Structure 1
Amino acid sequence: MVEYGYIDESGYLTSKILEEYTEKFRDDDGEIQERIISVEEQANILSGLGWKQVELVDDTKLNCPLYYSVHIAPYDAGDKIRYKYEQRFNVKIVRNKIDELKASLTSNDSCIGDYRITKCYEASLIGESMPYDISELHQKRQEVRNEINRLEALIVSNI
């Protein structure tokens, strides 16, 4: 696969994947003919217009640590257009994880949700035995709260 493009004055890349294609045309006798337009022909035309070959994105540079994402920025390297790969802390991913953890504390479907706390509290008020192990429930909920606090601190330290 060959890609050609240019970077405009705003820094945006406009590009096109070049593939061989068939073009129909009328010859001097008015007959419809077909000819194949090669990738090389297209590349020569685009090069004449200031377009340059675009380096393919390197998938191996897209891997990054948890809560980070890769920002890909094209730049003109003279002979071709290349990409810079910059790992950035992604606050949105962390906030989504925090929301997910908070929801697990309040969800009726969660094994640590408020429903189980309410059932234990009701049982204690009327002197019945606890329907769930309250110590284990408290420990698991505290672990979730600790993780929420850790992630919130992570956001503050990376802003």
Structure 2
Amino acid sequence: MAEQEPRWLDPAEWHAWRNYIAGQALLAGRLNRELSDRHGLSLADYEILVRLSEQQDHRMRMSLLADEVVASKSRLSHQVSRLEADGLVRRELCPSDGRGVFAVLTDHGFEVLQRAAPDHLEGVRAHFVDLLDDTERKVIGDVFERVQTKLRADS
């Protein structure tokens, strides 16, 4: 059986792909640096604090949190350990399931998040949101919703 030729990217596809790769790396790097310099948080740490803060009781199962922040359970466990050492998060066993573990945002963690959020949002606006018009924001949101849906279904 003959091997099929790859579907090479045309110039427009290549342009979109290459600029996405470089742009997202530069954006994540800049936002990470700003959070680290101003608040001693990584972008990944900030995202964990945000996800926990969005829960009514500021707690979430570690397995669900890993899915939400798109991290392996092992990687999330290491991040939560660092956040625990800084007093930003604590772990609690699930009372109804002896194997389940919750990550819980501490009061101190919530205060740190509240201080960091305005600076982070200023960076998100300056480096991304304000560079787009309404149509572009909708297109990007819709496209990456489709990408997430497909990749999560493939897992």
TM-score clears 0.5: no
Greater relative contact order (Cα 8 A, min sep 6): structure 1 or 2? 2
The bucket for the TM-score relative to the shorter chain is under 0.3
The alignment's TM-score, normalised by the length of structure 2, stands at 0.24
More strand by share: 1
The alignment's TM-score, normalised by the length of structure 1, stands at 0.24
